[in-house]
């Protein structure tokens, strides 16, 4: 088979089980694609030897008719997940040379089920960013390009989104069969939307956070970025599950998400929140959203207008809560236990200060400073405590809405992908990318982005579905219905390599 890498994860899984392809040849095919896609800068570390060794073990199992749910399937891993013996950078200079002596629970679950690790994927530094431009390893370039005049492609490098930009770009460019990602304010759904891929942020507590480099612990959640809804369902089932090592991971059964795909959505109540209609939002986004509503209606859903008036406060709450938690979590990077240590210092204090000044990039420093400020004596009540109370109001508002609806449908992002460097002036402009996604993190809800159309320049646009806590099954049903109706099949031209 010449084009193994064009198989969806589901089809690849079946082809491997039927011995139509081997894990080793599949792995080699993906490694060759990664090698040819250096222009995308999507991969920080390629683990070719490890991948081939894992593939060989999978082939042995498959030849005996054994193997797990992902046996022999090659995946990319966001470089926020600790992987035993393999460089783990979180996109930061301060983790130089860090090779964890343990495996994150979620990646461990994937290897338990037979998946093969191709490498570690680029990302915004400590997952702080919406464009992948804060990575110490340089920005990821989206495989997508704008359509130019006379059917020539505009060569302006575009962002794949962030922070899971390497994951989204790798999946869109078919450098892996699927990828892990993480979402603190939209870092799975926003890049998925910008790259025409499917991204799923499960309910907070669905996946273990153990061994994932912490950014904002009450918001961080692991999830997959995949080519289609079925692939995402397969990956999430393996990634999810209770873990005693994460006290916020929830002990409840993990359903077979794939089994619900194709089930009727007839009678489901779909909420459409009017506050997600923004001034100045491109007409194309407005139209896409209307299309989504029409598709769900055609599938037999009942459309319910809802109001979530706290929506406009979600990002300001996020930019207190997330930096506050980050300033605490990132206190561990002090040049003592792992990673970078400054060469020149006078005493222990200047060692800490110089190490952190050298090791952190500008956006991370900015957030650590804001977090330190809002937690400092005299400001705690005015900022942090107030933000936690507004967060409760956002949570309550969703709880009320979910008494009336089963799912909520919104656009995933306020615009299509933008050019690298186009939004590096005002941090707040960059933060606004997450305006539709951040509410789900604050309320702990599951959310997903599904590719639904192209804008006038030929760039992908996504729709977002939000569900009730731990009701990912209904979300997947809705995602599948949207996917079927949208019939999104566009692919980026392979200008790289």
Q: Which residues are catalytic?
A: 78, 163, 187
Q: How far is the CB of 428 from other proteins (least distance, A)?
A: 5
Please tell me the distance from the alpha carbon of residue 106 to that of residue 111, in angstroms, as a whole number: 9
Asked if 143 and 70 touch (Cβ cutoff 8 Å), the reply is no
Please select the residue that binds other proteins; options are 52, 93, 153, 392, rule is CB under 8 A: 392
In the complex, what is the shortest distance from the CB of residue 128 to other proteins, in angstroms, rounded to a whole number? Answer: 13
Segment interacting with other proteins (CB under 8 A) among 53-61, 224-232, 380-388, 460-468: 380-388
DSSP H helices, 340-449, are 348-359, 362-375, 386-401, 427-431, 438-443
Q: Which of 385, 456, 494, 495 binds other proteins (CB under 8 A)?
A: 385
Closer Cβ to other proteins, 186 or 205, answer by number = 205
Residue 385 per-residue DSSP state: I
Distance CA 497, CA 495 (A): 7
**Pairwise CA distance, residues 211 & 223, whole Å:** 14
Give the span between the Cα atoms of 79 and 100, in whole angstroms. Answer: 12
- Interacting residue with other proteins among 150, 337, 344, 403 (CB under 8 A): 337
Tell the burial category of 265 from Cβ atoms under 10 Å away from its Cβ (0-12, 13-18, 19+). buried
Q: Convert 152-169 into a string of H (helix), E (strand) and C (coil).
A: CECCCCECCCCCCHHHHH
320 lines the binding site for other proteins (CB under 8 A): yes
> Which of 57, 250 has the CB closer to other proteins?
250
| Min dist. Cβ of residue 330 to other proteins (A) | 9
Does residue 370 interact with other proteins by CB under 8 A? yes
Return the range that interacts with other proteins (CB under 8 A); candidates 140-148, 276-284, 334-342, 408-416. Answer: 334-342
DSSP for 200-242 reads EE--TTSS--TTBPPS-TTT-EEEEEESSHHHHHHHHHHH---
Question: Rounded to the nearest whole angstrom, what is the least distance from the CB of residue 457 to other proteins in the complex?
Answer: 29
Q: Of 141 and 368, which CB lies nearer to other proteins in the complex structure? A: 368
Closer to other proteins at the Cβ: 261 or 368? Answer: 368
414 binds other proteins (CB under 8 A): no
- Binding to other proteins in span 243-302, by CB under 8 A: 244-245, 247-248, 250
Q: Looking at 136-144, 177-185, 337-345, 471-479, which segment touches other proteins (CB under 8 A)?
A: 337-345
22's CB contacts (< 8 A; 6+ apart) are: 16, 55, 59, 62, 72
Q: Given candidates 352, 402, 418, 476, which one binds other proteins under the rule CB under 8 A? A: 352
Question: Contact region for other proteins (CB under 8 A) — 114-122, 156-164, 389-397, 473-481?
Answer: 389-397
SS3 content of the chain, % helix, strand, coil (to 5): 40, 15, 45
Size of the residue set binding other proteins (CB under 8 A): 72
Complex with other proteins: residue 158 or 387, whichever CB lies closer: 387
Pick one of 32, 259, 290, 336: the residue that binds other proteins (CB under 8 A).
336
Tell me if 432 sits within 8 A of 177, measured CB to CB: no
For the window 193-222, what string marks contact with other proteins as x by the rule CB under 8 A? Answer: -----------xx------------x----
Taking CB under 8 A as the criterion, which residues in 149-188 touch other proteins? none
Tell whether residue 338 is a contact of other proteins (CB under 8 A): yes
310 binds other proteins (CB under 8 A): yes
319 binds other proteins (CB under 8 A): yes
CB of 474 vs other proteins, minimal distance in Å: 18
Q: C-beta of 347: minimal distance to other proteins in Å? A: 5
**How, if at all, do strands 407-411 and 269-273 pair?**
parallel
369 belongs to the binding site for other proteins (CB under 8 A): yes
Residue 97 binds other proteins (CB under 8 A): yes
Among 313, 414, 471, 491, contact with other proteins (rule: CB under 8 A): 313
Q: Give the integer Cα–Cα distance in Å for 7 and 11.
A: 6
Smaller CB distance to other proteins: residue 120 or 356?
356
Q: Which residue has the tokens 């809560």?
A: 321
Query: Where do we find the tokens 């959203």?
Result: 289
Residue 93 CB, shortest distance to other proteins, in Å, is: 13
Instruction: Kindly tell me which residue out of 48, 61, 304, 388 binds other proteins, with binding defined by CB under 8 A.
Output: 388
In which order are the strands placed within the sheet that holds 269-273?
43-46, 116-121, 74-78, 179-183, 221-226, 198-201, 447-454, 460-467, 407-411, 269-273, 302-306
Q: How far apart are CA 252 and CA 213, in angstroms?
A: 24
How far apart are CB 469 and other proteins at their closest, in Å?
A: 8
Alpha-carbon distance of 140 to 133, in angstroms, equals: 7
- Nearest to 59, CA basis, from 19, 30, 29, 12: 19
Query: Among 53-61, 136-144, 356-364, 472-480, which window interacts with other proteins (CB under 8 A)?
Result: 356-364
- 369: part of which helix (H) or strand (E)? helix 362-375
User: According to the binding rule CB under 8 A, does residue 340 interact with other proteins?
Assistant: yes
Q: Which of these, 121, 28, 32, lies nearest to 72 by C-alpha position?
A: 28
Question: Judged by CB, which is closer to other proteins: 157, or 316?
Answer: 316
8-state DSSP, 158: B
CA separation for the pair 248, 363 (Å, rounded):
28
Which DSSP symbol is given to 163? S
Site for other proteins in 446-485 (CB under 8 A): 469
Beta carbons within 10 angstroms of residue 354's beta carbon: 17
């Amino acid at each position: 088979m010449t084009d193994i890498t064009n198989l969806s994860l589901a089809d690849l899984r079946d082809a491997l089980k039927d011995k139509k392809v081997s894990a080793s040849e599949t792995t080699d095919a993906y490694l060759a694609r990664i090698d040819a896609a250096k222009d995308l800068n999507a991969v920080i570390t390629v683990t070719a030897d490890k991948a081939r060794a894992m593939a060989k073990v999978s082939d042995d199992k498959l030849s005996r008719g054994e193997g797990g749910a992902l046996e022999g399937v090659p995946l990319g891993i966001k470089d926020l997940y600790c992987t035993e013996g393999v460089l783990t950078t979180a996109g930061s200079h301060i983790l130089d040379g860090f090779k964890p002596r343990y495996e994150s629970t979620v990646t461990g679950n994937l290897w338990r089920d037979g998946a093969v690790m191709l490498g570690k994927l680029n990302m915004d530094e400590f997952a702080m960013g919406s464009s992948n431009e804060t990575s110490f390893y340089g920005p990821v370039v989206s495989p997508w390009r704008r359509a130019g005049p006379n059917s020539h492609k505009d060569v302006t490098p575009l962002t794949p989104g962030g922070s899971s930009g390497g994951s989204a770009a790798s999946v869109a460019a078919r450098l892996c069969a699927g990828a892990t990602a993480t979402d603190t304010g939209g870092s799975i759904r926003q890049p998925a939307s910008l790259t025409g891929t499917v991204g799923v942020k499960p309910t907070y507590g669905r996946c273990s956070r153990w061994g994932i480099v912490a950014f904002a612990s009450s918001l961080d959640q692991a999830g997959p970025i995949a080519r289609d809804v079925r692939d995402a369902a397969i990956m999430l089932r393996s990634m999810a599950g209770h873990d005693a090592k994460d006290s916020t991971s929830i002990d409840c059964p993990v359903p077979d998400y794939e089994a619900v795909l194709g089930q009727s959505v007839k009678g489901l109540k779909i909420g459409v929140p009017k506050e997600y209609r923004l001034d100045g939002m491109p007409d194309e986004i407005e139209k896409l959203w209307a299309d989504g509503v029409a598709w769900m209606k055609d599938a037999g859903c009942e459309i319910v207008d809802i109001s979530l008036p706290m929506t406009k406060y979600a990002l300001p709450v996020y930019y207190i809560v997330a930096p506050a938690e980050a300033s605490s979590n990132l206190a561990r990077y002090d040049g003592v236990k792992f990673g970078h240590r400054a060469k020149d210092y006078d005493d222990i204090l200047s060692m800490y200060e110089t190490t952190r000044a050298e090791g952190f990039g500008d956006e991370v420093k900015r957030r650590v400073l804001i977090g330190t400020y809002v937690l400092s004596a005299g400001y705690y009540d005015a900022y942090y405590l107030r933000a936690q109370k507004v967060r409760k109001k956002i949570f309550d508002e969703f709880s009320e809405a979910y008494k009336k609806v089963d799912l909520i449908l919104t656009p995933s992002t306020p615009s299509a992908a933008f050019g690298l460097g186009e939004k590096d002036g005002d941090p707040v402009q960059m933060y606004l990318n997450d305006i539709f996604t951040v509410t789900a993190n604050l309320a702990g809800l599951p959310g997903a982005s599904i590719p639904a159309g192209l804008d006038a320049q030929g760039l992908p646009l996504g729709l977002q579905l939000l569900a009730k806590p731990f009701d990912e099954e209904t979300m997947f049903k809705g995602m599948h219905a949207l996917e079927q109706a949208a019939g999104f099949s566009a692919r980026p031209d392979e200008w790289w390599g």
